[in-house]
Every structure is written in C-alpha cells, then in structure tokens.
C-alpha cells in the first residue's frame, strides 16, 4: 500500500486518546470513523473534540477555516464492524487489557479490508501479542501516541518480528504527513522507550514518598524546576555528556545501590486504586482535584507543549 492511497482512518475507542487521535487525523483532512461500545462515550468525545478545536484556535495552532470542517470529517458509530468496513488504517485505542485488545484485533481481522494496516495505541503490550489474534501479522504495528495526542509530536512505532517493512514505512509516512515525529524501535519490548523511562522515574518517586524523604508535592516542584526543564530541550544522553561521563560514573557508583529496584507494584498505588482515588478523573489522588484545577493543569501542560514545540522549530531540532 502507498501512503497516498490511505483515505479512511478508523479509530476504535473514544476515550481520551482515541478522540485526540481522531481529531488530529481529521484536522489533517482524513475521513475518520470513531467507534466505541458506549454511545455516551461517543457523545462526550464529540463535545471534547469541539472544546479541543477551540483551544487549538486560541493557541494559534489552527485557524477557524482549518477547524470548521473537522466535525463533519468524524463519523461516530457504536458498530465496530461498520467502523472498519472500508478502513485503510485502523488505530486501536481501547482499555489497556490484553484480552480485550486481542478480541478487538480478531474483529479487525474479520471485518476490515485485507489492505488495512492494523495499529495499536498500546502503551505497554508488544505488537506480536495483538498480531497473534489475526491472520495478517505482517500488517500489525504499534503506533504509541502520548497525551494529548494532537499536541505531543512524537509517536513510537513498534513492529513485531513478523511486521513487514512496508507496514512500518507506510505507518511512518502517514504519521509524518499529519505532522508527527516518529521513532521506529529496532525491536519490540514491553513499554517501548517512553514508558520504560517514565515508570522507572515513578518507581523512585514513590519510594522517596514512602521513605518520608519528601512529599509528592515537593517532588513535583523539584522535577518541574530542575531536570524537567533541561529535558524539554536535551535528552538524557545529551545531558549526561554535557556534564561528563566521569561525573555520571561517580553518581552511579554512589546511587545505584541506594535507589529503588523492586519489581512489585508499590502498595500505595494499589491501595489508592482500590479506594477509587485515581487522580483528576475522580477528584483525588496524591492531590485534591476540582474540575477547575484539573482543567487548569491540562491547559498548563498544553501551553508548555506548544511553547516547547515552537522552541524546537526555532532551533531546527
């Protein structure tokens, strides 16, 4: 398949990620079928997309002329079979449960055209785990977006040993057409790049709280106002080499024996989830949240992402 032959995108799952992915493809001019088993979720997605389009205009990232046709390009349906019946490229964005994803991919295989590429937005599962539910493992790939997907420029592309070079290249070129910067992993691995790094950081942050070294709020302040600022403009290897690998070696010798290395999930996380303290979506986590404070945080993140993107464009990176 040539990337220019792709006309119809199907997004399965209308949650936070799915609706954002649908928005971006529609903004780029593609016709999108957005599917979810819940009509209520689809209705919420339509409202959320309208709000996000308004925000993109306010931030100067899109004009009214560009955003006006987007709602008409997105067709919602509660029928997965209908959503993928004429799809060229399918993106799965359902819950992060392997058995659910396998069932969805089996339906993709059954109902979508043979030409269709089947992509997953999984944040942890390898493409081979979804591909085994299909008869076309050569056309299965992970395209891992980050929230909000229409603002974060990077997508991780992950193929299995059976994914064809053509599938990888078509996915890469398609994402490039809608403005993404894709990173193609050399081989599949659980969690890919970003979430392996993020979970390592979160494990140590939780350990610092549990040991009484600092509060969650203090950790957030420190990260935002120290290495978090550096990481917005330079990756960890660039930062380490600017400091000198001799300095890094000395730090590693002192700290690696001390930092967290356990493989079990910290009990604090399990207990909070069991209580229903999930963060912004429930109003409580490590912080207390109101709808207003949650919206303010998301807006702050969005504005910082836009500022970072403009800085990257100005320095040519």
Show which of 149, 184, 219 is a domain's final residue.
184
pLDDT in tens, 218-240: 999 999 999 999 998 899 999 99
The number of folded domains in the chain is 3
Residue 213 reports pLDDT greater than 80: yes
Show which of 184, 204, 236 is a domain's final residue.
184
State both tokens at 124: 């942890």
Show which of 220, 238, 261 is a domain's final residue.
261
State both tokens at 99: 């058995």
CATH number (domain holding residue 104): 3.40.50.720
Specify the pLDDT at position 305.
Answer: 87
Buried b vs exposed e over 131-147: b needs ≥16 C-beta within 10 Å? bebbebbbbbbbbbbbe
Radius of gyration of the chain (CA): 21
pTM given for the model: 0.92
CA separation for the pair 176, 5 (Å, rounded):
15
CA separation for the pair 64, 124 (Å, rounded):
37
Are residues 296 and 153 part of one domain? no
Are residues 302 and 204 part of one domain? no
Angle at 24 between CA 20 and CA 189, to 5 degrees: 70
Specify the pLDDT at position 308.
Answer: 74
Whole-angstrom CA distances from 139 to 84, 192, 248, 271, 277 are 15, 19, 42, 40, 39
State both tokens at 206: 């939780």
Range of the domain at 235: 196-261
Are residues 45 and 143 part of one domain? yes
Are residues 257 and 175 part of one domain? no
pLDDT in tens, 263-315: 999 999 999 999 999 999 999 999 999 999 999 998 899 888 888 766 666 55
* Dihedral in degrees, nearest 10, Cα atoms 142, 144, 150, 153: -110
């Amino acid at each position: 398949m040539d990337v220019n032959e792709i006309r119809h995108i199907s997004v399965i799952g209308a949650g936070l990620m799915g609706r954002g992915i649908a928005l971006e493809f529609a903004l780029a001019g593609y016709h999108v079928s957005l599917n979810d088993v819940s009509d209520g979720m689809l209705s919420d997605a339509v409202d959320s997309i309208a709000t996000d389009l308004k925000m993109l205009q306010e931030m100067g990232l899109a004009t009214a002329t560009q955003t006006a046709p987007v709602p008409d390009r997105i067709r919602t349906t509660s029928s997965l079979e209908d959503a993928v019946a004429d799809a060229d490229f399918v993106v799965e964005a359902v819950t992060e449960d392997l058995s659910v994803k396998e069932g969805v991919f089996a339906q993709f295989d059954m109902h979508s055209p043979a030409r269709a590429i089947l992509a997953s937005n999984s944040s942890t599962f390898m493409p081979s785990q979804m591909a085994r539910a299909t008869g076309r493992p050569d056309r299965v790939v992970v395209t891992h977006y980050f929230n909000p997907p229409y603002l974060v420029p990077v997508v991780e592309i992950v193929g299995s040993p059976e994914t064809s070079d053509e599938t990888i290249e078509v996915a890469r070129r398609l994402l490039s057409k809608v403005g993404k910067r894709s990173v193609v992993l050399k081989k599949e691995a659980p969690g890919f790049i970003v979430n392996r790094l993020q979970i390592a950081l979160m494990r140590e942050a939780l350990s610092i709280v549990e040991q009484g070294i600092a509060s969650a709020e203090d950790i957030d302040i420190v990260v935002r106002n120290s290495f978090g600022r550096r990481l917005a403009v330079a990756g960890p290897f660039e930062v380490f080499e600017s400091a000198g690998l001799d300095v890094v070696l000395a730090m590693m010798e002192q700290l690696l024996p001390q930092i967290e290395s356990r493989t079990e999930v910290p009990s604090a996380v399990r207990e909070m989830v069991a209580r229903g303290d999930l963060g912004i979506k429930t109003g409580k986590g490590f912080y207390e949240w109101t709808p207003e404070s949650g919206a303010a945080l998301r807006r702050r993140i969005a504005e910082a992402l836009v500022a970072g993107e403009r800085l990257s464009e100005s320095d040519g990176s």
